Chains A and B, each alone.
Chain A
Amino acid sequence: MENHNVINTPIDPKQIKGWGIDADPKNDPTYPMRARMNISQDPDFKHRPEALQPVETEVLRSIERPNVSAVFGTPEPPSGLSGIIRRFAFHFSENQYPHWLPLLLADRVNVVEGVVDDLVHGHVPNIFAEKGYKAEWKHSPQTLVLKMAAFTAVTAGTILWLSSGNKKKKPVKRSRF
């Protein structure tokens, strides 16, 4: 019995009746479809700009491309624990969860690192100001009060719950039948 579950031999699509009948660029809905160009139609598809930005700092690179792009940003090179996580993430392609999820984790770690870095440099972050609560207090004070009350309640509840866990629990009598 013939096995259809294999790669078929390609055929010339031009042999198919009606092939390309609507391949009029005017029928394409909108730009950039009109300027569509296949790799095979582009004799210069590997073209790169003449000058390349020198790599003077650590730049993480997607493994879906062979090289570093001709220009790139260098504001915050990977560092610390978040940097280690980010380097791990770039071992995987953009198609993989192990690429994106560690990057999100690294972002959260980086926030803690940012606070520590502030403190190390003698700066206590003004969370109230950084969160723009001055504007919220001006334009929607009731929302801010509600948020603060909810935060206080959750914090107090958590502390109470955690502290109650230290007490010895009374043994539960089990009924026999």
Chain B
Amino acid sequence: MLAMEYRGPKRVRAVQKPMPEIKHPQDAIVRVLRTCICGSDLHLYNGNVPDTRVGSTFGHEFVGEVVEIGTDVTKLKVGDRVIVPFNISCGECHFCRQGMFGNCHESNTEATAVGGIFGYSHTAGGFNGGQAEYCRVPYANVGPTIIPEGMDLDDAVLLTDVVPTGYQAAEMAGIQKNDTVVVFGAGPIGIMAARCAWLFGAGRVIIIDQEDYRLEFARNYSYCEAYNFNEIGDPVLFIKKITDWLGADCVIDAVGAEAAGNLLQTITGRKLLLQAGSATALHWAINSVKKGGVVSIVGVYGPTDNLVPIGNMMNKGLTMRGNQTSVKRLLPRLIEHVQNGVLNPKGLITHRIPLEEVADGYRMFSAKLDNCIKTVMMPPTANQ
């Protein structure tokens, strides 16, 4: 089968790989119909996530059709079309039973802070991802959700990560009615978080980024105020100024380790990897929220090689409030929102490319070429 393959920092290609196999009675094999490149994939692509092995296949946002099931799979049958949440969750462990599906204890052998994630390095369980024609899906009774009749596959694929993560970012921000909410980062997740902030009753939503085309997109898609941090001077001072010098009620960090905006952080965090990524957005978030406010982190940071293990804080779901998204918990509500027209996920998609051109897709998204917001890839077998 054709699959994306990582060869080293900023080097990927499409190659023929062996078909995935059932390895556990609750496994399913899914033929991928749509798969996306996520902002989080760029951390892997840039070589910032430890134990990202050459030969791995990325991709944690995909939908597909079930083509094979293990002997213990009872909730799916061959032929079902499914939304596959990006987290791999057993549904039975101490954490899954609390709804913390992103922190499952039985899907990742190599680290304890975070659960298993499709195509997200061995630090997240060593699973191959969905940027391929076929993918092994463990715990098929737990995560995969049948795509409702009539739902567009483009909407469905964004329900695997972008929509739930944006929604959970707003939820974790503890937004109260009429709160002022600031979102750092106008990538797909930041744009969706800004859109979802309204659903929680925000009175004012502000988004900060440095790419004008993304800010313009956010203005139109999320109905929010949008500012370029290169034009407003110190963003923290700016936010204080426009919030009567008190700070925002809630701030969402939707950037993570790839943040621009501070030369020292860029050199030490992104270029030299001396800490777990550039913490610029996190600094801005902490400093621009009002006293007693809430900082919600969905941007991904690396693990412990930092002055503060902020990546662990995020992955383990500690306060300030941060976590990997528990997609399974949120899916029923979000499917409802999509079906009722409250959310329009596919409106984020700007590019469609064949899987064979995966290297170009990564370059375009990473270098923000051609006003790229969100790329969907189609494997050759998707139309069979």
Of B72, B93, B273, most buried by chain A (CB within 10 Å of CB) is: B93
Closest partner residue, chain A, to B372 (CB atom): A139
A151: chain B residues within 8 A (beta carbon): none
Stretch at the interface among B20-28, B75-83, B251-259: B20-28
CB atoms of B7 and A111 under 8 A apart = yes
Task: Pick the residue among A32, A49, A130 that contacts B106 (CB under 8 A).
Answer: A49
Of A108, A114, A135, most buried by chain B (CB within 10 Å of CB) is: A135
B232 to chain A, nearest CB (A): 25
Chain B CB within 8 A of A17 CB: no
Within 8 A of B (CB), among A68-118: 68-76, 82, 86, 90, 94-97, 99-101, 103-104, 106-108, 110-111, 113-115
A100→B312 CA distance, assembly (Å): 13
CB atoms of A97 and B304 under 8 A apart = yes
Chain B CB within 8 A of A167 CB: no
State the majority secondary structure of interface residues on A: loop
CB atoms of A29 and B93 under 8 A apart = no
Known: A30-B174, A104-B273, A140-B369. A130 touches B108 (CB 8 A): no
Task: Pick the residue among A31, A73, A86, A131 that contacts B171 (CB under 8 A).
Answer: A31
Stretch at the interface among A7-15, A57-65, A152-160, A169-177: A57-65
A137 to chain B, nearest CB (A): 10
Chain B CB within 8 A of A161 CB: no
Chain A CB within 8 A of B107 CB: yes
B360: chain A residues within 8 A (beta carbon): 132, 134-135
Known: A94-B304, A132-B362. A62 touches B109 (CB 8 A): yes
Known: A69-B116, A76-B126. A107 touches B108 (CB 8 A): no
B212: chain A residues within 8 A (beta carbon): none
CB atoms of B94 and A69 under 8 A apart = no
A156→B20 CA distance, assembly (Å): 46
A140: chain B residues within 8 A (beta carbon): 367, 369
A101→B50 CA distance, assembly (Å): 8
Closest partner residue, chain B, to A71 (CB atom): B138
CB atoms of B54 and A72 under 8 A apart = no
Chain A CB within 8 A of B361 CB: yes
Chain B CB within 8 A of A23 CB: no
Known: A53-B24, A71-B139, A130-B7. A114 touches B92 (CB 8 A): no
A25 to chain B, nearest CB (A): 12
Chain A CB within 8 A of B241 CB: no
A49→B88 CA distance, assembly (Å): 13
Chain B CB within 8 A of A21 CB: no
Chain A CB within 8 A of B111 CB: yes
Closest partner residue, chain A, to B71 (CB atom): A51
Chain B CB within 8 A of A6 CB: no
Known: A31-B329, A129-B13. A110 touches B98 (CB 8 A): no
Chain A CB within 8 A of B32 CB: no
CB atoms of A132 and B363 under 8 A apart = yes
A32→B116 CA distance, assembly (Å): 19
Of B9, B360, B361, most buried by chain A (CB within 10 Å of CB) is: B360
B19 to chain A, nearest CB (A): 13
Chain B CB within 8 A of A26 CB: no
CB atoms of B109 and A94 under 8 A apart = no
CB atoms of B54 and A71 under 8 A apart = no
CB atoms of A71 and B24 under 8 A apart = yes
B309: chain A residues within 8 A (beta carbon): 95
Known: A48-B106, A136-B363. A107 touches B47 (CB 8 A): yes
Chain A CB within 8 A of B60 CB: no
A30→B309 CA distance, assembly (Å): 23
A59→B126 CA distance, assembly (Å): 9
Closest partner residue, chain B, to A86 (CB atom): B51
CB atoms of B93 and A73 under 8 A apart = no
CB atoms of A60 and B109 under 8 A apart = yes
CB atoms of A136 and B108 under 8 A apart = no
Chain B CB within 8 A of A42 CB: yes
CB atoms of A107 and B12 under 8 A apart = no
Query: Which 6 A-B residue pairings sit nearest by Cβ, starting from the closest?
Result: A132-B363, A73-B126, A111-B8, A73-B127, A135-B360, A114-B54
List 26 A–B pairs whose Cβ atoms lie within 8 Å, in order of A's numbering.
Answer: A29-B174, A29-B321, A30-B171, A35-B99, A36-B98, A48-B92, A48-B93, A53-B24, A53-B138, A62-B109, A71-B106, A71-B116, A72-B107, A72-B125, A90-B110, A96-B304, A99-B304, A107-B51, A107-B52, A111-B9, A111-B11, A125-B7, A125-B11, A132-B12, A132-B360, A136-B369
